[in-house]
Amino acid sequence: MAFTLGTVPVDPPVLLAPLAGITDLPFRRLVAGFGAGLVVSEMVASQEIVQARPLARARAELGFDQASTSVQLAGREAYWMGEAARYVEGQGARVIDINMGCPAKKVTNGYSGSALMKDLDHALTLIEAVVGAVSVPVTLKTRLGWDDALLNAPTLARRAEGAGISMITIHGRTRCQFYKGQADWAAIRAVKDAVTIPVVANGDITDGGRAATALAQSGADGVMIGRGAQGRPWLLAQVAAELFGQAAPVVPTGAALADLVIGHYRDMLSFYGLELGIKNARKHLGWYLEAAGTGLNRAIVLQSEQPLQVERALIEAFTEAPIPEAA
């Protein structure tokens, strides 16, 4: 079921979802190292990246030229979306994704993200602006609709394909559901039936069994995994092995897991700088401890400002062996 986006192969068709504050470059590198068909950056505000606000620029600039990486843009004005697309292509982006699925109020109140599903004519102006501005493949991520009374994803998908979109990812909820209830994978089939381009199913896919069910119910060409990979960066590779015959990853445990987590921690400190890196890493460290089923040293790991103390606590937590104090 592998497919290509321009010259970028999506093989296996197991993709990492864009998650604000989570799928930064250190995490994307880690997931890609285990194996993923495509990893997608955090959402970048189109006007901010063009106007060079430091935070937005930092999120997007680093990792543009990484293999199998897509840069996701969000916005509400065609001009800025087109300009942002030109900028990120110029920086080396090989795939550009348009966000029309984010349910957060701070995004939808600005008429971006999933709010665009309430005005498909306007949504199409953004799609046309991005597709017309670049030569790299452009994809779209959205939801089933704004609410149960406006389930217009199939219509948006059909119009998006006509405007040049190369792939569509559908989260199996409406915007008004946010992340409540269960993703409706079967409802994605109407989108698949409406287009000829690849469709990817997203939402509540946390293991190989659920991925297989999502594919069967939706008829989709691939799956996108988001929150399920938190604390388990090898999950996408596991799903690819179960569904598509890829080589199974070696899932680290004990000392090997400690080494992986400490490597991720150090990468974040290097990427963000010490103070911000310590703060941003804590959520990841908590997810690793939770996934490993250990609460040992949790308070130290999540509160200490001293990297060496955190690393020592992580080794003890994953090996469950106290480390003697240095003489």
The pLDDT score that the predictor gives to residue 196 is 98
Contact present, 40 and 23 (Cβ < 8 Å): yes
- Give the burial string for 105-131 (b: 16+ CB within 10 Å, else e): eebbeeebbbbbbbeeeebbbbbbbbb
- Give the burial string for 85-99 (b: 16+ CB within 10 Å, else e): bebbbebebbbbbbb
Tokens of 47: 């006007």
The pLDDT score that the predictor gives to residue 327 is 37
Contact present, 168 and 142 (Cβ < 8 Å): yes
Q: Strand, coil or helix: what is 268?
A: helix
The pLDDT score that the predictor gives to residue 111 is 66
CATH superfamily, with its number, for domain 3-244: Aldolase class I (3.20.20.70)
Asked whether residue 226 is marked as a ligand-binding residue, the answer is yes
Q: For 108-147, how does the pLDDT look when each residue is reduced to its tens digit (9 = 90+)? A: 767 678 789 899 999 999 999 999 999 999 999 999 998 8
pLDDT band at 252 (very low <50, low <70, confident <90, very high): very high
- Mean per-residue pLDDT, 221-230: 97
By annotation, the residues acting in catalysis are 102
Give φ, ψ of 239 to 5 degrees.
Answer: -65, -40
Tell me: pLDDT of 324 over 80: no
The pLDDT score that the predictor gives to residue 242 is 96
Asked whether residue 283 is marked as a ligand-binding residue, the answer is no
Give φ, ψ of 188 to 5 degrees.
Answer: -70, -20
The pLDDT score that the predictor gives to residue 326 is 45
> DSSP for 160-203?
HHHTT--EEEEESS-GGGTT-S---GGGGHHHHHH-SS-EEEES
The pLDDT score that the predictor gives to residue 172 is 95
The pLDDT score that the predictor gives to residue 306 is 97
Tell me: pLDDT of 166 over 60: yes
Q: Strand, coil or helix: what is 72?
A: strand
Q: For 206-222, how does the pLDDT look when each residue is reduced to its tens digit (9 = 90+)? A: 999 999 999 999 999 99
The pLDDT score that the predictor gives to residue 188 is 98
Spans of all domains in the chain = 3-244, 254-319
Of all residues in the chain, the percent with pLDDT exceeding 90 is: 74
Asked whether residue 264 is marked as a ligand-binding residue, the answer is no
Average pLDDT, the chain: 91
The pLDDT score that the predictor gives to residue 68 is 73
Who wins on pLDDT, 242 or 69?
242
> Minimum mean pLDDT among 56-70, 176-190, 246-260, 307-321: which range?
56-70
- Mean per-residue pLDDT, 20-30: 92
